[in-house]
Structure 1
Amino acid sequence: DILTNDDFRQERLAQLELLDERRLTALDHLQIYQKRIKRAYDKRLHERTFKVGDLVLKENQHVTKLEKRKRGKFAPNWIGPYIITHTYGSGTYRLASLN
């Protein structure tokens, strides 16, 4: 069952073509999966728009490790209220404190 040089080349080329086919199939499956995930995410997404003068709360992103350790899960998640003074489009707003 010894392969000649030509037989070996043909078999190797067939393996490489099969590998390319499998890669394309995997890429197709990945794209289908990504579309499905995007559709599921977009279904749950609620776009909110605000006007000048609306009162809003801002997410507290600057909670320090010390504050988290001190307050634990009771550290505030939101700070405010703030009033919207200017809208820039694409979900960007200028906020002013009520104080």
Structure 2
Amino acid sequence: MHNVAYKQRLAKYYDSRVKPRAFKTGDWVMRKVSLATKNPTDGTLGPTWEGSYEITKVCGPGTYQLRNPKGKTLPHLWNADHLKYYYK
């Protein structure tokens, strides 16, 4: 019983600090660099965010289709946790 109350308090604290992100079609975002997209020659001091991408489609809650500035649509969907607004 005591453990359940602790988990509920911890979840409430975490949820109060989370900043939900919602983008709409036409917004420009930057994409977080992951191990799959990271250039191996950059090392630990490489960039953590890359590009500017336009959101072309909202596929579900927090899931987006992206297009690069040259007009090429990226092959898979991206989660809002891996995106942030790009301010020109």
Q: Same fold (TM over 0.5)?
A: yes
1:52-91 alignment to 2 at 5 Å? Answer: 52-61=25-34, 62=36, 63=38, 66-67=40-41, 70-72=42-44, 74-91=45-62
Shift in Å at residue 71 of structure 1? 3.3
SS in 2 for 1:32: helix
Q: Distance in 1 between matches of 2:13 and 2:3?
A: 15
TM-score w.r.t. the length of structure 2 is: 0.70
**Correspondence for 1:49 among 8, 11, 22:** 22
Number of residue equivalences: 68
**Whole-Å Cα distance in 2 between the matches of residues 75 and 29 of structure 1?**
45
Structure 2: gaps (5+ residues): 71-88
Rounded Cα–Cα distance in structure 1 between residues aligned with 2:58 and 2:8: 32
Identity over the aligned pairs, expressed in percent? 34
**Greater relative contact order (Cα 8 A, min sep 6): structure 1 or 2?**
2
Superposed structure 1 runs of 4+ greater than 4 Å apart: none
Instruction: Please state whether the residue corresponding to 1:30 is helix, strand or coil.
Output: helix
Larger radius of gyration between Structure 1 and Structure 2: 1
Higher helix share: 1
Show structure 1 runs of 5+ residues with no match: 1-27
User: TM-score, with normalisation over the residues of structure 1?
Assistant: 0.62
